[in-house]
Amino acid sequence: MTTDICHQSGLISVELAREQLLEAIAPLSETETLPLEQACGRVLAKPAQAQLDLPPCDNSAMDGYALCGESDTSLQLVGKSLAGHPFSGAIGAGECVRITTGAPLPAGADRVVMQEQAELQGDSLTLHRAPKTGEHIRRRGEDVRSGETLLDTGTALKVPDIALLAAAGVAQVTVVRRVRAALLSIGDELRSLNTPAAELGEGNIYDSNRIAIKAALAQLNLDIVDLGCLPDEPRAIRDGFLAARESADIIVTSGGVSVGEADFTRTVLEELGQLELWRLAIKPGKPFAFGHLPRENGRALFFGLPGNPVSALVTLYQLVLPALEKLKGVSDENRQPPIQCRARLLNPIAKKPGRLDYQRGCTWRDCDGQQVVQSTGVQGSHILSGFSRANCFIVLPREGGNCDTGDWVTIEPFRAPLV
């Protein structure tokens, strides 16, 4: 075993950390009922059931002519059926009705000929091709039956889900209430974006983490309480945590979870609550912390992200997002783990064994259709420009070492909220 691996042996694997996170979290139980148009991205707390058949009647799949049975090549036009304006009578042998896509099938009709396969002159229709029974007909209820459960509890509603429910007459849905997230940064060096650059003191930096994390969480249908920035002072951190735990289901901090002499987040967390995870075998992002702060009506979950900006976003994406999905009530079968695939590496990558490494890269298909990936350059946990250019993580295994040009590596294309 190498010295590097021995040095990292006390770190928790990312896989185990995710497992322990999910085991420690119970989904929210409070619900609310919303109009369907306000429910995209929310998680169903009750199944959604169809209020009618889809299609609601037999109708035409094409613009053309509705016919009755085996017909001669010449037919008499007796009317028309349009969407919203059906033909009121019935048709018999030797007759046809002009029909548009989605229009109800007239009584007696059992097939539709496409308009391109027939020619109308006056009220006489000549067929260029005889349609078969049932051709170009959509049958009532062939998609959905009235009373059928369309989506189960635990489904995070997507745009196609909204379309399905609306078509099936579902006007409102019962969903899990929004997760309330308290967000704050910790660090004496941090300054607001309102501070002019010329007024930044030596060693001061802008509080970019809180802005970026807030932008990410805003895409996830959370209610966000922004508590600003706290100094590296135990009393201030303690007061901030006490305020956060009363207003939120989760507390997300950045900074103050390392082992420096001014990093007090872990100390205050253990004073007020419980630390359940700390120091993971992940790069970037080793000083990630997870725990909880008890309160009278339950507890607030705590996610302490590292202070380095790339580390904060990587751990948010890889660890906090799966936890949020469970907290929001997304069922196991409806959770969407990151998609990974293989790609040919276009440049050498340096890596030391000991931590699962999420390097930032750009991936595309080359002119031969092969998936390729290239590192965005220097991979320091402070290098945001490379992260901004990236569209994927290059996922290098914990005990793996350097990679050479031409090697096959695992990549993980970005998904929301990184895109």
Domain boundary among 334, 351, 379: 334
Q: Are residues 295 and 186 in the same domain?
A: yes
**Short-list 307, 241, 301, 243, CA closest to 271:** 241
**Short-list 167, 173, 174, CA closest to 144:** 167
Q: Are residues 48 and 71 in the same domain?
A: no
Q: Are residues 250 and 278 in the same domain?
A: yes
Q: Report d(CA 178, CA 33) in Å as an integer.
A: 12
Domain span at residue 330? 3-29+178-334
Question: 271 in a domain, yes or no?
Answer: yes
What was the pLDDT predicted at 259?
Answer: 63
Q: Are residues 116 and 17 in the same domain?
A: no
Question: 392 in a domain, yes or no?
Answer: yes
- State the total domains in the chain: 4
Question: 269 in a domain, yes or no?
Answer: yes
For residue 108, what are its two tokens? 């007696």
Question: 360 in a domain, yes or no?
Answer: yes
pTM, whole model, 2 decimals? 0.88
What was the pLDDT predicted at 72?
Answer: 76
How buried is 406 (Cβ within 10 angstroms: 0-12 exposed, 13-18 middle, 19+ buried)? exposed
Question: 418 in a domain, yes or no?
Answer: no
Q: pLDDT tens per residue, the chain (419 residues)?
A: 333 333 345 899 999 999 999 999 999 999 999 999 999 999 999 999 999 999 999 999 999 999 998 877 899 999 999 999 999 999 999 999 999 999 999 999 999 999 999 999 999 999 999 899 999 999 999 999 999 999 999 999 999 999 999 999 999 999 999 999 999 999 999 999 999 999 999 999 999 999 999 999 999 989 999 999 999 999 999 999 999 999 999 999 998 776 664 578 888 999 999 999 889 999 999 999 999 999 988 999 999 999 999 999 999 999 999 999 999 999 999 988 889 999 999 999 999 999 999 999 999 999 999 999 999 999 999 999 999 999 999 999 999 999 999 999 999 999 999 98
Q: Are residues 320 and 200 in the same domain?
A: yes
What was the pLDDT predicted at 255?
Answer: 87
Q: Are residues 186 and 311 in the same domain?
A: yes
Q: Are residues 234 and 369 in the same domain?
A: no
Q: Are residues 45 and 67 in the same domain?
A: no
Which amino acid is residue 72, in one-letter code?
D
Element (H, E) at 225: strand 223-230
CATH number, domain containing residue 244: 3.40.980.10
* Torsion sign, CA atoms 359, 230, 216, 209: negative
Interior/surface letters 38-59, b for 16+ CB within 10 angstroms, e for the rest: ebebbbbbeebbbebbbbeebb
Q: Are residues 35 and 25 in the same domain?
A: no
Q: Are residues 85 and 16 in the same domain?
A: no
CATH number, domain containing residue 43: 3.90.105.10
Question: 227 in a domain, yes or no?
Answer: yes
How buried is 405 (Cβ within 10 angstroms: 0-12 exposed, 13-18 middle, 19+ buried)? exposed
Domain boundary among 296, 311, 334: 334
Q: Are residues 310 and 409 in the same domain?
A: no
Q: Are residues 166 and 207 in the same domain?
A: no
**Short-list 3, 41, 18, CA closest to 158:** 41
What was the pLDDT predicted at 266?
Answer: 86
Domain boundary among 287, 310, 334: 334
